[in-house]
Structure 1
Amino acid sequence: MLPALRHIDCWIFDLDNSLYPAATNLFALIDIRMGEYIQRLLDVGPEEARRVQKSYFHEHGTTLAGLMAAHGVDPHEFLDYVHDIDLARIVADPVVIGAVERLPGRKFVFTNGDAAYASRVLDRLGLGNMFDGLHDIHAMNYVPKPDPRSYAAMCACHGIEPGRALFVEDMARNLAPAKELGMTTVWIDNGSERGDHGADPAFIDYHIDDIGLWLTDILENETQ
């Protein structure tokens, strides 16, 4: 293990575009479902639905948070609908599987999605049995990343000591609250939409573009 990371005993990963490449583009499928949902909900056309979707995402952290605040949308109904997608485009990466399996300490997924969807994705990635916990949007009480309350609640729920935890995330802005708590932060810069929004070296400890290769590298340093 790299000397700077030998104190880490808790590894926290965002799910989408972090544990698999952004080029997989699952969000293209989810976007279609979100658009359909908003069109029906508000009785608007595709262009207006797209505008609403993106404005809520930028203003509230997730489209769901905006829909809940403005329209009282049932989060379970919304998430069940938008996550009803074909996951065939996900390909398990043996490098990621091998590296995650070898990590010492506990491992968690911290996602603005829901557990049902996350579990399906993890199974498809070959990672379904490798995590000690999954902290999803329901567990956050619908207060999504990057709201600092969601990070503090996750740590309290799972007994995580932030100073001994590392967090990997593709949305740079979502790392700021983790760093404020004392976590080691890793930005996986692999092409996510607005992934670089708000990026600042002050709260990014490691800037990478491939999670499997990076984890393998730091693990191999343990024997050097």
Structure 2
Amino acid sequence: MTRWTEPHGLRAVETWVFDLDNTLYAPGLGLWEQVSARITDYVMRALSISREAAEALRVEYFHAHGTTLAGLMARHGVAPDPFLDDVHAIDLSAVAQDHALRDAIDALPGRKVIYTNGSRAHGAGVAAALGLSGCFEAVYGVEDAGYVVKPQRAAFETVFGADGFDPLLGAMVEDCQRNLRVPSELGMATIWRPADAAEARQDHVHHVADDLAAFLTRIAA
């Protein structure tokens, strides 16, 4: 048992860092599916390849580089900002405000920020649609990490350094376990919101939050 897994240990957290996609909203909402489809379309146009080839590259680059954009930049010299503007132009009309999550985040001790591998504007837009804008002191996107992406250590160090918080007093909330490894190594508490119930928990994950609002509410209770 570590200090972060002890009963009430998370009450010592001073800075909460939340991922965005499939973390602040449930995967079933379909927003990430919209982004993924637009990424495939962008890869088709940028590289003049078939949809099947573009879809294969989208998945390959995500696993090899952390995001499809990182692979496109490294292997094809694709400019990041037009890509980010295009793939995040999604329909948010089906997004409902999440009052339970808002109340749970507001009740947490300490300050709260968003850090996404998407753009800063995407993070702010989705948070607003969820009714969570007032919960967060800052929203950090991939541009704030110099377009280096999670799970690379340099991405975390750049964003965390710019924010100025002490990782030893921080917590990271993510849907992707590989993005929790470096925060754990930096001394942060790690909280995983699984998108796939069949995925096994990894050793660097301190807590699993299937229902994020309920999990956070228990901390503040």
Equivalent residue for 2:202, pick from 200, 214, 217 = 200
CA deviation profile, 1:144-180 (whole Å, cap 9, x unmatched): 0000111112221111101110110000111000000
Instruction: Output the TM-score relative to the length of structure 2.
Output: 0.93
What is the identity percentage for the equivalent residue pairs of Structure 1 and Structure 2? 38
Find the counterpart in structure 2 of residue 3 from structure 1.
8
Q: How does 1:28-177 map to 2 (within 5 A)?
A: 28-177=33-182
Q: State the secondary structure of the residue aligned to 1:139.
A: helix
CA deviation profile, 1:119-139 (whole Å, cap 9, x unmatched): 110100101122111121000
Mapped to 2, the partners of 1:63 and 1:113 lie a distance apart of 11
Q: Work out whether 1:180 is the aligned partner of 2:185.
A: yes
Aligned length: 215
The answer as to whether partners of 1:107 and 1:130 remain within 8 angstroms in 2 is yes
Mapped to 2, the partners of 1:6 and 1:218 lie a distance apart of 6
1:112: Cα distance to partner? 0.1
RMSD: 1.5
1:181: Cα distance to partner? 0.2
1:6: Cα distance to partner? 2.5
Find the counterpart in structure 1 of residue 214 from structure 2.
213
1:200 maps to amino acid: Q
1:67: Cα distance to partner? 0.5
The answer as to whether partners of 2:11 and 2:219 remain within 8 angstroms in 1 is no
2:99 maps to amino acid: P
2:220 maps to amino acid: L
The answer as to whether partners of 2:168 and 2:188 remain within 8 angstroms in 1 is yes
Mapped to 1, the partners of 2:10 and 2:96 lie a distance apart of 29
Mapped to 1, the partners of 2:119 and 2:84 lie a distance apart of 7
2:216 maps to amino acid: L
The 4+ residue runs of structure 1 with deviation greater than 6 A are: none
Q: State the secondary structure of the residue aligned to 1:11.
A: strand
Mapped to 1, the partners of 2:194 and 2:75 lie a distance apart of 32
Q: State the secondary structure of the residue aligned to 2:149.
A: coil
Mapped to 1, the partners of 2:180 and 2:218 lie a distance apart of 22
Q: State the secondary structure of the residue aligned to 2:117.
A: coil
Q: Unaligned stretches of 5+ in structure 1?
A: none
Q: Unaligned stretches of 5+ in structure 2?
A: 1-6
CA deviation profile, 1:13-36 (whole Å, cap 9, x unmatched): 000110110111212111221111
The answer as to whether partners of 1:14 and 1:110 remain within 8 angstroms in 2 is yes
1:196: Cα distance to partner? 4.1
The answer as to whether partners of 2:72 and 2:78 remain within 8 angstroms in 1 is yes
2:124 maps to amino acid: S
Instruction: Output the TM-score relative to the length of structure 1.
Output: 0.92
1:155 maps to amino acid: F
Mapped to 1, the partners of 2:180 and 2:84 lie a distance apart of 24
CA deviation profile, 1:176-204 (whole Å, cap 9, x unmatched): 00000000000111339xx948x512x11
